[in-house]
Structure 1
Amino acid sequence: MKLHPRFIKILKAALLLSMLVLLWQYVKVIDPHQVQAALIKVGAGFGWVILSTTVAYGLGTLGWWYCLGDAKAAIPKTDLFMIRHVCETVGLFNPASFAGGDMLKIVLLRPYSVSQPTVLTSVVISRLLMILSQIFLLILTVLWFSLHDKLQIGAWLPYKAILSFLVICLLLLLIVYKIPGFDFGQSQRLARVKARLADIRSELVHFYRTYPKQLAFAFLLFTLHWVVGSLEFYIVLKLFGYDVTIVDGLLLDMGVIAVKAAGAFVPGQIGVEEFGNKIMLSLIGISSIPLWLSVSALRRTRQLFWILVGAVFYSFFIYKKRLYS
């Protein structure tokens, strides 16, 4: 995939404009008084939240690094960390969601001595592994809680909905790939989708056959990325005096991420994340409205901190002229 310089200019301008607008909307919904009260409550403990997310982002970077195959030696890990963080931030504040962020990854990696097909393959595979590891952990946590009778009966409803959605997706994939003679009719768009899905599948199979150990390491690192990231919930609830376990934090985080994925079309997940926080806290028996507001405020504050860090990283790449214009 070769991107024309003019297209890159347009992409940069569109991303910047959309991010500025959506970031302003994002900042407006944050209640500074609520944030101040929550920060006073947890004090220096908020540093542990930042530390856990830093480690989680580092693990996610290493997972992507392993997806680059033999080309990974051409990109310093620190640069890859900054590129990944910038692009994940763009995905958060972009109408195209993570697709816009993944496209930017391809652009930001152009100055490095890595072929475009390799970059594209690494982006696709890393995104798939992130999704699969997330689903894997969500299933494990739900099973663990259900076996220990820690979920309310009503809590099964959303997971039944998720399970039904996954079954439907599986059936659609079977139809597209396995049923002989499946007719796409006159729709060229569906045919292109099928062809692209076939390409992605072949890329994944090729990578698996060529780099099986690196694929396994990448999946493990992405799994650890989610686990360490979920410590944010555990740390925050502990700071507020609640007796929770690491598994509780994992269930909360995986559930909120699932809710955010369902509302991925909402830039910044404004309101969606708060809704997910409320649902998941109620599932483990925490229905305190003040706590919900404080947890949501702290998580938004953490996001705002990393948004500012992402802006610094992006400025670094502009300063170094590592972006084609």
Structure 2
Amino acid sequence: MKLPSDIAGARAHKNHVFYTISKIAGLAAGITLLYWFVSRSNLTAIGDQLKLINVNFIFLIAATFTGYLMVTIAWRLSFYKYPGHVSLPLLFIIRQIGESLAQINPTNVIAGEALKAVLLKKQKIPYKDSIVSFTISRFLVYFSAVTLIMIGIYVFFDQLKFDVDPVSLAAVASIIFSLFVLFIYRLGRGKGVLSTPAGLLAHLARRFPHSMRLQNVAGRMREIDDELIDFYKNKKINFIAAYLLSFSSWLFGAMEFFLILNFLGFGVTFLSCVAVEVGIMIFKGVGAFIPGQIGIEEYANKMMLEFIHVPDGNIWITVSIVRRARQLFWIGIGFIAFLLVIRKTGESGDGDTVYNA
């Protein structure tokens, strides 16, 4: 007779296998789709377009560096008590190492955050403090992304030629602002922002008692709520500043599109590039289980550039190549920094090794 723990373990193994197969299938489909599009494109024209970027690539690196720096400062503000001995440049390096691993590791964010925690532990920052800072920082990044998506609604209305009067747009803006105020109000009252979905999942977990995933997700939501409430209660200025920095970092993602397209001779507006960034953000969210979102991000570039009426049929491939080159540049920086950290620190005092993360 099988014990409940054995049944739960078998289900977990089955889910893990299914998840792994889904990742491999999604990655294969993305690569196949990408090959199909590229093989039918004018490679000579793409090469000519890439020449227009040339040394201007450094401006793209500068734009992304600014965005990454803003997120790093927001992360620094997300610590309850930030230790002064860890400088901002060092925190930037640690974040870049973790994000680089997240880009190439099948477990994505989990692997990156685990490595950051190990590196911070070497700087005498307890794991618990690191994990809480990750939770708050990551939540603010996602919440600021939702805010940007709401702002992008205006551009979508305009591009789709919807007959929307200024009063309706003002109403949409008012709703967005009201939701933000409600979010702050609930935190201030100690009610949290995830209590409703957490309660729903807890109810489902009671109806399906063998579903450990439902119980774990509901419990994790309650933990996040408690951490957000406590942090907002004690660090209001840090909370709001971190949110504003996280939001601003997304705008530098739009700035990258703005620079690339203008370097290539397409006079697009910055607001249109915000719409592109929003659309690609949604595509990447849907395909988050695929390592590096290979194929997903490229197809998103194609769809969103067509959406803002960029005329050249090959331009999305050029943009994709440039953005992947920028991504590889920062992954390379993270990898070099990782090697330097291993060489400098080696074995930690508590027996943990960096490369075991």
Band the TM-score falls in, shorter-chain normalisation: 0.7 to 0.9
Other structure's SS at 1:70 match = coil
1:150 positional shift: 2.9
Match of 1:143 in 2: 154
Match of 2:106 in 1: 95
The answer (yes or no) to whether the contact 1:66–1:72 under 8 Å persists in 2 is no
**Which amino acid letter does the alignment assign opposite residue 99 of structure 1?**
I
Query: Using a 3 Å threshold, how does the CA distance of structure 1 residues 294 and 104 change in structure 2: closer, same or farther?
Result: same
Match of 1:186 in 2: 209
Task: Tell me the alpha carbon deviations over residues 235-262 of structure 1, each in whole angstroms, 9 at most, x when there is no partner.
Answer: 0000111111111122112211221111
Unaligned runs of 5+ in 2: 1-26, 163-193
The answer (yes or no) to whether the contact 2:152–2:275 under 8 Å persists in 1 is yes
Other structure's SS at 2:345 match = coil
Taking the TM superposition and a 5 Å limit, the aligned residue runs for 1:30-49 are: 37-49=48-60
**Which amino acid letter does the alignment assign opposite residue 89 of structure 1?**
S
Other structure's SS at 1:230 match = helix
Match of 2:78 in 1: 67
1:179 positional shift: 9.2
2:85 paired with 1:82: no
From 291, 296, 310, the equivalent of 1:267 is: 291
From 274, 290, 302, the equivalent of 1:278 is: 302
From 336, 340, 343, the equivalent of 1:319 is: 343
Task: Tell me the alpha carbon deviations over residues 171-226 of structure 1, each in whole angstroms, 9 at most, x when there is no partner.
Answer: x9625326996624422512233222211110111111111110101001111111
**Which amino acid letter does the alignment assign opposite residue 286 of structure 1?**
V
Match of 1:128 in 2: 139
Query: Using a 3 Å threshold, how does the CA distance of structure 1 residues 36 and 90 change in structure 2: closer, same or farther?
Result: farther
**Which amino acid letter does the alignment assign opposite residue 151 of structure 1?**
L
2:263 paired with 1:254: no
Match of 2:179 in 1: none
2:228 paired with 1:204: yes
Residues 233-242 or 81-90, more deviating: 81-90
Other structure's SS at 2:209 match = coil
**Which amino acid letter does the alignment assign opposite residue 50 of structure 2?**
L
Match of 2:175 in 1: none
The answer (yes or no) to whether the contact 2:102–2:110 under 8 Å persists in 1 is yes
The answer (yes or no) to whether the contact 1:34–1:297 under 8 Å persists in 2 is no
The answer (yes or no) to whether the contact 1:130–1:222 under 8 Å persists in 2 is yes
The answer (yes or no) to whether the contact 1:35–1:301 under 8 Å persists in 2 is no
Match of 1:174 in 2: 196
Q: Percent identity?
A: 29
C-alpha separation between the residues in 2 aligned to 1:223 and 1:67? 15
The answer (yes or no) to whether the contact 2:100–2:335 under 8 Å persists in 1 is no
TM-score normalised by the chain length of structure 2: 0.72
Residues 286-295 or 60-69, more deviating: 286-295
Query: Using a 3 Å threshold, how does the CA distance of structure 1 residues 211 and 221 change in structure 2: closer, same or farther?
Result: same
C-alpha separation between the residues in 2 aligned to 1:44 and 1:38? 13
C-alpha separation between the residues in 2 aligned to 1:178 and 1:319? 48
The answer (yes or no) to whether the contact 1:64–1:122 under 8 Å persists in 2 is yes
Match of 2:24 in 1: none
1:121 positional shift: 0.4
Give me the CA root mean square deviation: 2.9
2:235 paired with 1:235: no
**Which amino acid letter does the alignment assign opposite residue 209 of structure 2?**
Q
C-alpha separation between the residues in 2 aligned to 1:54 and 1:151? 33
The answer (yes or no) to whether the contact 1:252–1:281 under 8 Å persists in 2 is yes
The answer (yes or no) to whether the contact 2:202–2:215 under 8 Å persists in 1 is no
Task: Tell me the alpha carbon deviations over residues 91-147 of structure 1, each in whole angstroms, 9 at most, x when there is no partner.
Answer: 11121122221222212211123222211100011111111101101111222552x
2:248 paired with 1:224: yes
1:63 positional shift: 0.8
Residues 129-138 or 106-115, more deviating: 106-115
Number of aligned residues: 282
**Which amino acid letter does the alignment assign opposite residue 236 of structure 2?**
P
Query: Using a 3 Å threshold, how does the CA distance of structure 1 residues 100 and 37 change in structure 2: closer, same or farther?
Result: farther
